[in-house]
Amino acid sequence: MQIGVKEQHIEDLTKNTQMNVEEGSITFWIDVNKVKYNDNQATILLNWGNKDGSLFIVKDSDNKLKFFHVYYGFGRTDAEIDVRDLSSGEKHMVAVTWSVPKKEINLYIDGGKRKVKSLIKY
């Protein structure tokens, strides 16, 4: 799935999209000057859910990009990367992968120049 940033938000192309809470990936670009990475403000980039769980991506007020994976009845796993020194004057690619069978979440910025892995415990 590809989603793009528009007016400080990600254009929501997920409204009619079926996503698999157990395993999947999301990639999108954040355009130039659409997100301020060091402003101590929260900017919601993705908020999706269904009867099985939810996915949430935010540039939070602590200037970290965070991905939340919630699997109802099982638990929640988060991944976060400090982005306070990212330039708003450049485009940035964000990618997230999650796999409950493999027990991992991966969050990447700019093709893996910044990345973090979180282990799923459910």
* Domains along the chain with CATH numbers: 2-119 (2.60.120.200)
Give residues with Cβ within 8 angstroms of 102, minimum separation 6. 23
**What pLDDT score was predicted for residue 8?**
39
Token digits for 58?
Answer: 């935010």
**For residue 17, is pLDDT > 70?**
no
pTM reported for the whole predicted model: 0.87
Say if residue 108 is exposed, middle or buried (CB neighbours under 10 Å; 0-12, 13-18, 19+).
buried
Token digits for 94?
Answer: 């964000």
Q: What is the mean pLDDT of the chain?
A: 90
**For residue 2, is pLDDT > 60?**
no
Average pLDDT, integer, range 21-48: 96
Average pLDDT, integer, range 102-120: 97
**What pLDDT score was predicted for residue 18?**
77
Instruction: Please report which confidence band the pLDDT of residue 35 belongs to, taking 50, 70 and 90 as the band edges.
Output: very high
Instruction: Please report which confidence band the pLDDT of residue 15 belongs to, taking 50, 70 and 90 as the band edges.
Output: low
Cα separations in angstroms, 60 against 39, 47, 65, 80 = 10, 13, 6, 10
52-102 tens-digit pLDDT: 999 999 999 999 999 999 999 999 999 999 999 999 999 999 999 999 999
